[in-house]
Amino acid sequence: MNVLVVGRGGREHSIVMKLADSKQVNNIYVAPGNGGIGKHATCVPIDEMDLDGLVAFAEKEAIDLTIVGPENPLNAGIADRFQQKGLAVFAPTKAAALLEGSKSFAKAFMNKHEIPTADHKTFTNADDAKHYIEEKGAPIVIKADGLAAGKGVVVAETKAQALAAVDDMLVSKAFADAGAKVVVEEFLDGKEFSLMAFVHKNNVYPMVTARDHKRAFDNDQGPNTGGMGAFAPVEDVSDADLTFAVNEILQKTADGLVEDGRSFTGILYAGLIMTTKGPKVIEFNTRFGDPETQVVLPLLENDLVQVLMDVMDGKDPQLKWEKNACVGVVVASKGYPAAYQKGMLLPEMATTKSCFTIHAGTKLVGEKLVSDGGRVLLVGAKNVSLQAAAESAYAGLEVLSHTEDFFYRKDIGKQ
C-alpha cells in the first residue's frame, strides 16, 4: 500500500513510526512533515491546508489510504474532498469534525444526547458574559468557541481573571474569529485523563487511557500549552469508570452523530475529568491527541494499517495492548507558549532500546537539525512501570540538561 499522512508535528511522526512497522506498506508520504519524519517517510512540500494539492498528490501517487493528523484541515472539509474523488481517507467529515471545531456546538450536542459535561452558557456579547461570571463567581472556565491551537482556554481562579479573559477574546479579538463566541462553563475539580477510540459509524474501539500535562512548568504551574508531556495508561481510572466513559460518553457520541446525520469515521478523542459524579467531558477532539498519541501508539501491538482497514470495513480490529507503561516528555523552545526563537541547533539525541525521540517542530538546514516550533521534540520510553518508563525517558534527555535554548518539565509521569 501507499499511505499518505497529513500534518507536520509529533503526532504525525508517531503515526508514521507505527506505519513503518507494517508489512502492508510500501511507501509512506507525509505532507508537509518535519525534520525528523524524513528518516521514516518521504516528506512532500504540500501544506496541510492545501486541499487541492493534497487531493491531486493522492491521485497522482495512487495513494491507497490517507490519515489526517491536525484539526484545521478536518474542519476545512478534507475528508469530504477525498471522498468526492473516491479516495480512502481515515478522517471525519466537516460536519462530524464540528464536534471539535465549535465548543458551543459540542455543548449543545452533549445536552441533546445526555452526555455528562460541565454546566455552561455561550456568549457573543462581552457584557452579557461578564454579568454571568459575576453571578456564578470563580473559579470558572472561559473557552474560545473555535480552534485556537490548544490555547483558547482560560481556567480563571478569580473573577478578575475571568473578566480579563472575556475582554481578551470578545473585545481584543486575541483569537480572531475563533474567539468571536465564548463558552463560559463551570469549573470541574478532579483528575483529568484522555480516552481515544477508533470509530466508524456506531462502532467504537477504545484505546488505553492517557494523561496529558498541559501547564508549562513543574507542579502544574505556568500557562496552558498544547501539552508538555503525557503518559499511558492511567492507573487511577477504575474499570468501572472506564466502562462508563466508553458506554456513556464515546458510544453515545458516536450514536448521536449517526442520529444527527453526521456519521463519524476517524479518531474520537474525549478529554475527561473524574468528578464525584463520575467522568465528565471537558472537550472533544476529532483526531489523534498530541502528545497523547506519542505514548499510546507505542503500546499498540496491532498493525496500525490493518486496524484502520478493519474499522473502515466495519470489522472489530481486536486491539491488543502491551502491559508496559509509556512516558513522553516534550522539549519546548525557551519562551513557549509565548514568543520564542526558531532555528536553534539541536544536539544528537541519545536513543536506547527503551527510549525513542519524536520530532514536532524541527527542520533540516543542510545536514543540521534546528528548531522550527514551540514544541520541538518528545523523548519517550516504555518500561514495566510508570516510574521506570519516566526514568528511561529522562535519561534520554540528559543531553539537553545544559542548554538554555530549550526547556522541559521534570515531573512528567509523576502522579
Q: Is residue 186 part of a domain?
A: no
Q: Which CATH number fits the domain that encloses residue 346? A: 3.90.600.10
Question: What number of residues does the chain have?
Answer: 415
User: Do 52 and 156 fall within a single domain?
Assistant: no
Cα separation, 91 vs 10, whole angstroms? 18
pLDDT tens sequence across 157-192: 999 999 999 999 998 888 888 888 999 999 999 999
What's the pLDDT score for residue 352?
74
pLDDT band of 147, cuts 50, 70, 90: confident
Q: Is residue 248 part of a domain?
A: yes
Q: Cell 488505553 belongs to which residue?
A: 208
Q: Is residue 103 part of a domain?
A: no
Residue 272's closest CA among 216, 225, 326, 206? Answer: 206
User: Do 196 and 304 fall within a single domain?
Assistant: yes
Cα separation, 99 vs 111, whole angstroms? 13
What's the pLDDT score for residue 279?
97
Q: Which CATH number fits the domain that encloses residue 58? A: 3.40.50.20
Half-sphere exposure of 116 (CA within 13 A, CB side): 17
User: Do 161 and 253 fall within a single domain?
Assistant: no
User: Do 372 and 329 fall within a single domain?
Assistant: yes
Q: Which CATH number fits the domain that encloses residue 145? A: 3.30.1490.20
311: its cell numbers: 474499522
Q: Is residue 202 part of a domain?
A: yes
96: its cell numbers: 462530524
User: Do 15 and 46 fall within a single domain?
Assistant: yes
Percent of the chain with pLDDT over 70: 100
What's the pLDDT score for residue 11?
97
Q: Is residue 185 part of a domain?
A: no
Number of domains present in the structure of the chain: 4
End of a domain among 93, 112, 146? 93
pLDDT tens sequence across 393-407: 999 999 888 889 999
What's the pLDDT score for residue 401?
81
Q: Is residue 317 part of a domain?
A: no
End of a domain among 115, 146, 180? 180
In the sheet with 89-90, reading across from the earlier edge strand, the strands are: 42-43, 27-32, 2-7, 65-68, 89-90
- Say if CB 94 and CB 72 are below 8 A apart: no
User: Do 280 and 331 fall within a single domain?
Assistant: no
pLDDT tens sequence across 122-138: 999 999 999 999 999 99
Three-state SS letters, the chain: CEEEEEECCHHHHHHHHHHCCCCCCCEEEEEECCCCHHHCCEECCCCCCCHHHHHHHHHHCCCCEEEECCHHHHHCCHHHHHHHCCCCEECCCHHHHHHHHCHHHHHHHHHHCCCCECCEEEECCHHHHHHHHHHHCCCEEEEECCCCCCCCEEEECCHHHHHHHHHHHHHCCCCHHHHCCEEEEECCCCCEEEEEEEEECCEEEECCCEEECCEEEHHHEEEECCCCEEEECCCCCCHHHHHHHHHHHHHHHHHHHHHCCCCCEEEEEEEEEEECCEEEEEEEECCCCCCCHHHHHHHECCCHHHHHHHHHCCCCCCCCECCCEEEEEEEEECCCCCCCCCCCECCCCCCCCCEEEEECCEEEECCEEEECCCEEEEEEEEECCHHHHHHHHHHHCHHHCCCCCEECCCCCCCC
User: Do 79 and 145 fall within a single domain?
Assistant: no
User: Do 295 and 232 fall within a single domain?
Assistant: yes
Q: How many other C-beta atoms can be found within 10 angstroms of the C-beta atom of residue 118?
A: 18
User: Do 133 and 157 fall within a single domain?
Assistant: yes
Q: Is residue 209 part of a domain?
A: yes
User: Do 283 and 347 fall within a single domain?
Assistant: no
CA Rg value for the chain: 20
Q: Is the pLDDT of residue 337 over 70?
A: yes
What's the pLDDT score for residue 415?
62
What's the pLDDT score for residue 253?
98
Enclosing domain of residue 229: 192-312
User: Do 208 and 306 fall within a single domain?
Assistant: yes
Percent of the chain with pLDDT over 90: 88
Average pLDDT, rounded, for the chain: 95
User: Do 200 and 306 fall within a single domain?
Assistant: yes
Q: Is residue 415 part of a domain?
A: no
End of a domain among 312, 338, 369? 312
